């Protein structure tokens, strides 16, 4: 399984909102500048996140985006499924009927197990976990 740029950027955008939002709306321009991501690329990602209920949008001079739920309620698994689709390592791991060999495949349980482990891990990590870990790393970054 390989996470695409869309998935990585969506996660970075949402982490940025969790770190800097505090319930207020933030412009895509600000997020793009902080994250080093093209604003145009973020404009392609935001409709997916908005329609799914992860983002709230506000137009106008004070417009922008904010998280629709608390960072503790948004998991990495949820975000990546929205942007990537399935997290299964192979199509047959998610839907064995797609493979004519699935009934006699010795390796299918391996791929299904991998998919379960990946999903369980990504579903256990929230945006708040990422923000907390990032802040903790920053606090332990001593310069002499």
- Rg over alpha carbons for the chain, rounded to the nearest Å, is 18
> Which pLDDT belongs to residue 49?
96
How many other CB atoms are found less than 10 A from the CB of residue 112?
A: 17
Q: Which CATH architecture describes the domain 5-139?
A: Orthogonal Bundle (1.10)
**C-alpha span between 62 and 87 (Å, rounded):** 36
Per-residue tens of pLDDT for the chain, all 144 residues: 789 999 999 999 999 999 997 878 999 999 999 999 999 999 999 999 999 999 999 988 888 999 999 999 999 999 999 999 989 888 888 888 888 888 899 999 999 999 999 999 999 999 999 999 998 887 666 555
> Which pLDDT belongs to residue 140?
63
> Which pLDDT belongs to residue 69?
94
């Amino acid at each position: 399984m390989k996470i695409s740029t869309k998935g990585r950027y969506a996660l970075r955008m949402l982490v940025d909102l969790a770190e800097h939002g505090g319930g207020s709306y933030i412009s895509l321009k600000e997020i793009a500048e902080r994250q080093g991501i093209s604003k145009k690329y973020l404009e392609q990602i935001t409709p997916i996140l908005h329609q799914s209920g992860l983002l709230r949008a506000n137009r106008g001079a004070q417009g922008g985006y904010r998280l629709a739920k608390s960072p503790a309620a948004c998991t990495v698994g949820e975000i990546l499924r929205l942007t990537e689709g399935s997290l299964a390592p192979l199509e047959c791991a998610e839907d064995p009927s797609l493979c004519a060999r699935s009934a006699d495949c010795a390796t299918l349980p391996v791929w299904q197990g991998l998919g379960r482990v990946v999903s369980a891990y990504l579903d256990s990590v929230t945006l708040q976990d990422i923000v907390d870990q990032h802040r903790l790393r920053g606090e332990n970054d001593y310069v002499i």
